[in-house]
Amino acid sequence: MNSMSRILLLLSLALLAWAQAPLRAAPRPNVLFIAVDDLRPELGCYGKSHVKSPHIDRLAARGTLFLRAYCQQAVCSPSRTSLMTGLRPDTTKVYDLETHFRDTIPQAVTLAQQFKENGYFCTGMGKIFHSGKNDPASWSEPHRENVGGALYALPENQKLIQEKRRAAMEKGLKGPAVSRVARGPATEMADVPDEAYSDGALAAHAVKTLERLKEQGQPFFLAVGFQRPHLPFNAPKRYWDLYDREKVGLAANPYLPKNAPPMAGTNWGELRQYHGIPAQGDLTEAQARELRHGYYASTSFTDANIGKLMEELDRLKLAENTVIVLWGDHGWKLGEHAGWCKHTNFELDAHAPLIVAAPGAKGRGKPSRALVEFVDIYPTLCDLAGLPKPAGLEGTSLAPLLENPDREWKRAAFNQYPRGRTMGYSMKTDTHRLTLWVDTRADNKVVATELYDHQKDPEENENVADKAEYAGVLERLKAWHQGGWKGALPEAAR
């Protein structure tokens, strides 16, 4: 055999061995899971150029921005519980801030827990579940809600809170009751470094954690929960300086919708707990402007902290194998509908930001108008990581929308909010929002109805449920509502 024949034989044997060898599995993607408290979709990437959010906007440009994403209940614990379990509030039975899902559905497997049980190193910091309602089963190492920094940076505000706490304890108050009455001002502007506040310290800790996780070499699920722009609106001065208070607009509709039932609105008791806010009645125009200014400053502060995580991902060369999810746990009112805070079924409260950036997704950089829900996040991440999905999840994987953001999707998204013995079940469609208020102690008898025409009235300023010209629309939407979330699924997912 001549030399050329031997070379050809060796090449043939090498190619045969390569073809018969098992294919090397692609590395499983990491997950960077970013939660933001009380963040409404008033951001540059949502077309709101008056808000300075360059880092979130950059993330939207490299992923899929969901223009119409909805939480399941517009308050922290129920929303986060629903997202983290993939189950709706009527399944978790978590409707308030006190109930822990391990007491109502103890066998539930959370999103982080599913990753942990399938080979991921799962670590969380900041506010992921509701404050004080952490779930040890979800994490590979103890979750750290507080990693440094302060809620208030100014000494005079720190002193005020200490004096209030002392007075409350002298009256015999304990635990959460003390916290409720020992609140500082609703805003603070301090000329301090970012790390002086708790969210700035959290971002610094998350950056260090990313470096540690890369060195470990194990696929990771890193959850980082920022609290701003939740009250109090405290942020370093540099972020307040991004906005001119005189140019900060006020709510265009500071009144309840015409014909709305009494249970539709709130008395915004959350805000009223803060020092200087009246216990009853309206705010002054100066107070309203200060709060809106503070909300925007806090939003830009969180945007900067998110930017630090993005920059570190790029520096560590982790971005191309990391799925990034950014979500705000619900919306927020800034004076609209005679209210502040959340706690309603209005579009302002149920509609929240959602961005999913998945490496290699064909639809990257193109926003989606599909109606999606926070229960969809759990199955989506399982699909993107190639993990099995636990039985009983009540959402639909958004993975197909990451490939084609324009594809046909759900016909409706669902949320709810309780008012004592009355539960408001709300459904957002492409053109309307329908809310049925039912008496939970009287066989769910409908006691009030709201219908908003989003084509003519996107701000929901008039309830048209009793108007004769909407009778046909109302009956059609009630039938959809009766079909529930399963009836709203795309045909392929039923």
- H, E, C per residue of 217-284: CCCEEEEEEECCCCCCEEEEHHHHCCCCHHHCCCCCCCCCCECCCHHHCCCCHHHHCCECCCCCCCCC
| Cis preceding linkage at 136, omega within 30 | no
Tracing tokens 């982790």 back to the chain, one arrives at 318
Q: What predicted TM-score, i.e. pTM, was given to this entire model? A: 0.93
According to the model, what pLDDT value does residue 15 have?
A: 46
| Position 17 pLDDT exceeds 50 | no
Q: Distances from the Cα of 284 to the Cαs of 256, 321, 368, in angstroms? A: 18, 50, 39
The distance from CA 374 to its chain's CA centroid, rounded to whole angstroms, is 8
Give mean pLDDT, residues 122-140: 94
| Position 1 pLDDT exceeds 70 | no
According to the model, what pLDDT value does residue 428 have?
A: 98
Q: Where are the strands (E) in 407-444, listed by range? A: 413-419, 422-428, 432-439
| Position 23 pLDDT exceeds 70 | no
Which region holds residue 386: left if phi is over 0, alpha if psi is between -120 and 50, else beta? left
According to the model, what pLDDT value does residue 313 have?
A: 98
**Overall fold of domain 30-414:** Alkaline Phosphatase, subunit A (3.40.720)
What does residue 16 show for φ and ψ, rounded to 5 degrees? -65, -45
Are residues 416 and 90 in contact, defined by beta-carbon separation less than 8 angstroms? Answer: yes
Are residues 187 and 292 in contact, defined by beta-carbon separation less than 8 angstroms? Answer: no
According to the model, what pLDDT value does residue 85 have?
A: 98
Please give the Cα distance from 50 to 362 (Å, whole number). 30
| Position 9 pLDDT exceeds 50 | no
| Position 20 pLDDT exceeds 60 | no
121-126 and 220-226 strand pairing: parallel
The half-sphere exposure of 67 on its side-chain side, counting CA atoms within 13 A, is 15
According to the model, what pLDDT value does residue 2 have?
A: 55
CB atoms within 10 A of CB 449: 15
The half-sphere exposure of 492 on its side-chain side, counting CA atoms within 13 A, is 7
| Position 471 pLDDT exceeds 50 | yes
Dihedral Cα 99, 346, 40, 199, nearest 10 deg: -20
| Position 84 pLDDT exceeds 70 | yes
According to the model, what pLDDT value does residue 493 have?
A: 55
Bridge partners of 432?
453
Please give the Cα distance from 398 to 180 (Å, whole number). 39
Give mean pLDDT, residues 367-391: 98
Average pLDDT value over all residues in the chain:
94
| Position 7 pLDDT exceeds 50 | no
pLDDT band at 6 (very low <50, low <70, confident <90, very high): low
According to the model, what pLDDT value does residue 3 have?
A: 52
Are residues 356 and 370 in contact, defined by beta-carbon separation less than 8 angstroms? Answer: no
According to the model, what pLDDT value does residue 177 have?
A: 86
| Position 253 pLDDT exceeds 70 | yes
Q: Distances from the Cα of 137 to the Cαs of 79, 106, 113, 122, 298, in angstroms? A: 19, 11, 6, 10, 32
Please give the Cα distance from 335 to 457 (Å, whole number). 18
Which residues carry out catalysis? 76, 130
413-419 and 340-341 strand pairing: unpaired
Bridge partners of 69?
352, 372
| Position 491 pLDDT exceeds 50 | yes
- Model confidence pLDDT, tens digit, residues 24-37: 346 899 999 999 99
Which tokens belong to 257? Answer: 């919708």
Bridge partners of 30?
322
Which tokens belong to 343? Answer: 């706690």
Give mean pLDDT, residues 171-186: 89
| Position 377 pLDDT exceeds 70 | yes
According to the model, what pLDDT value does residue 176 have?
A: 82
Bridge partners of 422?
419, 439
Among the listed ranges 6-15, 152-161, 245-254, which one has the minimum average pLDDT value?
A: 6-15
| Position 315 pLDDT exceeds 70 | yes
